[in-house]
Amino acid sequence: MLCALVVLSVAPASAQDFPAITYGTRVRISAPAVSAQLYVGRLREIAADTVRLTIARGGQVAIPATAVRWVEQSDGKGPLWPVLGAVAGAVTGGVIAWKTSSGELDIIGALIAYPIIGSLAGTGVGFLLAPQRWTRFTIR
């Protein structure tokens, strides 16, 4: 019985061991026996003995399933960074409006327009700077 447990615990990975990830999902794969670098791409296929990814510029890579240590699935970018960017942009726009406006009518328009423009720009910058979030699945 103990021998059977030991054999099962060191059995190589196969397609059955992989999590249910939808094809086309962005993934990172660690296969240190094949390459020290992570494989990053979109999941194309999980065959009995091979995992295939579509990588940058339409290229493809095949990774032996037995070499895969873990897979990370992209969960996209978090919503916090665009919100922080919007707030920072609005505050910056408000300060610029306050410091550069001269008349009473001018400052009212500027205090409305500059924060709106700043928040839109800040949201875009926040989205661009937001890091990817990943969920890790250990294969073996």
Each residue of 12-46: pLDDT tens digit? 444 455 667 788 889 999 999 898 999 999 999 88
Look at residue 140 and tell me if it is in a domain.
no
Asked if pLDDT for residue 88 goes beyond 60, the answer is yes
Confidence (pTM): 0.58
Domain span at 96: 80-129
Relative orientation angle of helices 104-129 and 80-100, to the nearest 10 degrees: 150
CATH code of the domain containing 61: 2.30.30.520
105 in the same domain as 64: no
Look at residue 24 and tell me if it is in a domain.
yes
